Amino acid sequence: MNAKVTSAKKLTEVSIDKKDFKQAVIRHLHSTLGTDENKANNHAWWKATCAAMQEQVLEGLRKTQKTHYLNDTRAVHYLSAEFLMGRLLSNNLQNFGLFEVAQGALKELGVELSDVLEEEPDMALGNGGLGRLAACFIDSLATMELPAIGYGIHYEHGLFRQEIHGGAQIERPDSWRDYGNPWEICRPESIQEVSLYGYVETKYGDNGRIHKEWHPGAIVKGVPWDIPIVGYGGNTVNVLRLWQSQSSGYFNWDVFNAGGYVDAQRENVLAETISKVLYPNDETEAGKELRLIQQYFFSSCSLKDIIRRYKRAHGDDWSRFADQVVIQLNDTHPAIAIPELMRILVDRAELDWDSAWNICTNVFAYTNHTLLPEALEKWPARMFEKILPRHLEIIYEINHRFMALVDKQWPNDNAMKARLSIIEEGNEKMVRMGHLSVIGSFAVNGVAEIHSRLVKQNLFPEFDQLWPGKLTNVTNGITPRRWLKACNPELSKLIDKKIGSDWPMDLDKLQGLAKHADNKTFQKQFMKVKQANKQALADEIKQSMGIDVDVNAIFDVQIKRLHEYKRQHLNLLHIMALYRRLLEDPDYDMHPRVFIFGAKAAPGYKLAKDIIFAINKVADKVNNDPRVNNKLKVVFMPNYRVSLAEKMIPATDVSEQISTAGKEASGTGNMKLALNGAVTIGTLDGANIEIAEEVGDDNIVIFGMTVEEVEALKASGYNPYDYYYNDAEIKAVLDWLETDYFTPGQPGALVSIKQSLLEGGDPYMVLADYQAYSEAHKVIDAAYRDKERWARMAIINTAKMGKFTSDRSIRDYVEKIWKLESCKVES
């Protein structure tokens, strides 16, 4: 579990001092931005600071690329439809060890670095966990000096901006690039072309060989934008390459001969639409033609880019391809890369099928991020045939050969064949991308121990039997550079003083804090930092929402996408119950609590939006009711995003991780919050289980049903009405939702939540876990009142998070799957 990174340069060897940095900022203010010190606003200072930083970054990038080229390194290619990067300036300054230098330089210019940092729009090219994980992973890859490249989509609009009007979520477009992105570099010299639509012609060669030729109906251009990814220590600077679609002007008149001029213009629009917008659905498959086109677009561009680079070193000799290239598929979104590589190898390079398949199945590896059925991608074969006719043929051929293998293992078992087939038969024939990914990869991993076990037992049990060892686990992690060092500078300084400053690269070092957990002075220092962070968040809440919160209250935080399985409504029901207890008994004994939420709902997810509305309506009522005597506050912070998380996480006392057991694959927010000294209230789900193992039972509050209990209750016929009629508090709270108490003049405005929990059958068993949750909160309340006990718990949480650095995750990938070697870049 030792996640030590040894090769990065010491942070003290910075290449530029305050004076030089200041000069660089001024130079860019003058000659890049055409303004000067007197006229510049914070936005201009931000751009000039980025430009000054980018000089260092690009020098690192150039050296890294040269080193990797000269050493002809094996590299991992991380294909992901989402990279949720957040802001880059603070991170790049930190990773280069230039944060204080920049702070000092700007101060001399009369500018506060903290104000400048706030000017940067978040790069929100992702929805949630899967996209943020990709961002943490590329940080670790660069930090560990591993040759790696991230490939994704250069969305013009990232995840929507959330506004709250009258309590309801309104989606506004996110225009993160409107005023330019100082980090990205366009690389027109590496443009790729991608074909779509059309038909396949079968040709017979002299030698009897059948040759397939795809005559596309349209061709679009992929324009690469490179974002340098600075490793901690600044030695290795890798690249995130994002593809933007552009019209190529190519339109095949033979294919669309009836349409003429108007159709040709339509093709131009289509081309530019491909990378326009990120689908805002977290863990639901969109099923839309454009989405499949997006997936093929970036997968194909990326593969061709990988092949171009390989050929530069190895020409047409494919024998070493799988030695040099490993491609990690971040969920099934880029799974189309598998038949695309087959197409390139068989149709273009004219390799025989078996050799091509052998290359493929030694190149791809696949990560599964969810068991939710609605997230497992399936595409109608009909849609496939229209957009990618040749790929569908290839998928059929892959499947045909795979079915022969299944028949060998389970002779004459047609039910087994139907279960394992890439093609799902039924009213509408569907292509199962998960099956394609497992069959075409040499390794498949889940993202936490329990999740990987369920992937083997429930999702792909027969594949596990067929290929023992192929399915494995790599528990997720988070980068401690962003999620402690940069977002919580005061705690980082305190830790530095106590155990030295090398923990960001070797997070197990935090163990060293454990022996101080009972030290009163250290406890005070630790909690003083927490209190200051809470004050900063309270100020932010006051400023942005006009709500006063008491920093002596418990800050109880639930931040994640809004989804029924994550059960924000369980939290809400409990808040309503506390409110009710306070109204019934003004002396009800509870330590003051502030419940804080951050969550975006998919725009089409009605119940999720209803839950946001309900939280806001309950908040309105509770926050303005003098009878609760300030013991209870509810805050829904709009537009939850990476940069807001960076403010909320350091200020959190209690971390809500309350998904139905078996549903949250891992969670990564749970790790970030615990790392910053929050105590988890959570179910035995995802990585909560591993967090509990690390911190020990005394330092986490676990409640509710286990996976086995959830399954057993479901099997025995779960009836939510049993809980409704037998638990007076549950009944009162649910009935309350039906009145107009929280929505004056609008009775029934919140009733959909009650309905889903009763008539709807309560699919995520909220009511079944309610009592246990309510009791668990009493445990939290009691623990918090004992100041020393709480301080100890908080410290132990920080001390025991070593396992959850993304450096450890990446090390696991390297050892179990990628078989990569680090490559030192000489400075």
CB of 780 to ligand 6GP, least distance (A): 23
For the question of residue 528 being annotated catalytic, the response is no
Q: Is 377 in the site for ligand 6GP (CB under 6 A)?
A: no
130 binds ligand 6GP (CB under 6 A): yes
Report the nearest approach of ligand 6GP to the CB of residue 92 (Å).
Answer: 24
Q: Is 566 a catalytic residue?
A: yes
Q: Which is nearer to ligand 6GP, 331 or 762 (CB)?
A: 331
Q: Minimum distance from CB of 449 to ligand 6GP (Å)? A: 13
Shorter beta-carbon distance to ligand 6GP: residue 130 or 573 = 130
Q: Which two tokens stand for residue 732?
A: 């009162």
For 406-432, the DSSP string reads HHHHSTT-HHHHHHH-SEEPSSS-EEE
Q: How far is the CB of 82 from ligand 6GP (least distance, A)?
A: 8
Among 128, 222, 334, 477, indicate the residue that binds ligand 6GP (CB under 6 A): 128
668 among known catalytic residues: yes
Task: Give the C-alpha distances (Å, rounded to integers) separating 375 from 287, 371, 466, 655, 743.
Answer: 10, 7, 24, 26, 34
Check: CB of residue 278 under 8 Å from CB of residue 248: no
The yes or no reply on residue 234 touching ligand 6GP (CB under 6 A) is: no
Give dist(CA 773, CA 197) in Å, integer.
53
Asked if residues 614 and 737 have their Cβ atoms less than 8 Å apart, the reply is yes
Q: Considering the rule CB under 6 A, would residue 812 count as an interface residue with ligand 6GP?
A: no
Other CB atoms within 10 Å distance of the CB of residue 169? 25
Is residue 561 within 8 Å of residue 281, measured between CB atoms? Answer: no
3-class state of residue 241 by DSSP: strand
End-to-end CA distance of the chain: 29
Give the integer Cα–Cα distance in Å for 400 and 332: 21
- Closest to ligand 6GP by CB, 145 or 564: 564
Cα of 768 vs its chain's centroid, Å? 29
Spot the catalytic one: 432, 561, 569, 792.
Answer: 561
Among 672, 792, 808, 811, the active-site one is 672
Candidates 435, 456, 566, 811; catalytic one: 566
The binder of ligand 6GP chosen from 119, 226, 267, 282 (CB under 6 A): 282
Distance CA 464, CA 471 (A): 6
Residues 446-485 as x/- pattern, contact with ligand 6GP by CB under 6 A = -x----------------------------x---------
CB closer to ligand 6GP, 446 vs 720: 446
CB-count burial class (<10 Å; 0-12, 13-18, 19+) for 725: exposed
Whether 245 contacts 192, CB under 8 Å: no
Show the tokens assigned to 457: 């037992």
By the rule CB under 6 A, 122 interacts with ligand 6GP: no
> Residue 212 phi/psi, 5° resolution?
-105, 130
3-state secondary structure of 72: coil
Is residue 171 a contact partner of residue 158, using CB atoms and an 8 Å limit?
no
Choose the binding region for ligand 6GP from 369-377, 456-464, 491-499, 595-603 (rule: CB under 6 A): 369-377
Q: Which helix (H) or strand (E) holds 498?
A: helix 489-499
CB 484 within 8 A of CB 779: no
How much is the CA Rg of the chain, to the nearest whole Å? 27
Q: Cα-flanking dihedrals φ and ψ of residue 747, to 5°?
A: -60, 145
Closer to ligand 6GP by Cβ: residue 130 or 454: 130
Rounded distance, CA 323 to CA 359, Å? 9
**For the chain, how many helices (H) and strands (E)?**
32, 25
Based on the residue annotation, tell me whether 672 is a catalytic residue of this protein: yes
Find the shortest distance in angstroms from Cβ 652 to ligand 6GP.
Answer: 18
Q: Which is nearer to ligand 6GP, 307 or 702 (CB)?
A: 702
Binding string, residues 292-321; x marks residues near ligand 6GP by CB under 6 A: ------------------------------
Contact status, residue 419 vs residue 368, Cβ threshold 8 Å: no
- How many Cβ atoms are within 10 Å of 71's Cβ, its own excluded? 13
Indicate which single residue of 120, 267, 331, 340 sits in contact with ligand 6GP (rule: CB under 6 A). Answer: 331
d(CA 357, CA 158): 36
> Can residue 668 be called a binding residue for ligand 6GP (CB under 6 A)?
yes
The residue from 391, 432, 456, 560 that is catalytic is 560
Q: Is 283 in the site for ligand 6GP (CB under 6 A)?
A: yes
Which residue in the set 440, 686, 704, 720 belongs to the binding site for ligand 6GP (CB under 6 A)? 686
The answer to whether residue 9 is catalytic is no
Site for ligand 6GP in 34-93 (CB under 6 A): none
608 is an interface residue for ligand 6GP by CB under 6 A: no
Q: Which of 370, 680, 756, 798 touches ligand 6GP by CB under 6 A?
A: 370
Q: How far is the CB of 727 from ligand 6GP (least distance, A)?
A: 29
The number of residues that bind ligand 6GP (CB under 6 A) is 18
Spatial distance between the Cα atoms of 430 and 785, rounded to a whole number of angstroms? 56
Supply 763's token pair.
């699919």
Give the C-alpha separation, 446 to 453, whole Å. Answer: 8
Please identify which residue in 665, 684, 734, 814 interacts with ligand 6GP, judged by CB under 6 A: 665
Among residues 681, 693, 664, 427, the alpha carbon closest in space to that of 571 is found at 681
Residue 129 interacting with ligand 6GP (CB under 6 A): yes
Q: Which of 646, 664, 690, 807 binds ligand 6GP (CB under 6 A)?
A: 664
Q: How far is the CB of 445 from ligand 6GP (least distance, A)?
A: 10
143 vs 475, which CB is nearer to ligand 6GP? Answer: 475
Question: Which residue is closest to ligand 6GP by CB?
Answer: 129
Site for ligand 6GP, residues 133 to 152, rule: CB under 6 A: 133
Q: Which CB, 119 or 331, lies closer to ligand 6GP?
A: 331
The binding site for ligand 6GP (CB under 6 A) comprises 128-130, 133, 282-283, 331, 369-370, 375, 447, 476, 664-668, 686
The residues that are catalytic are 369, 560-561, 566, 668, 672
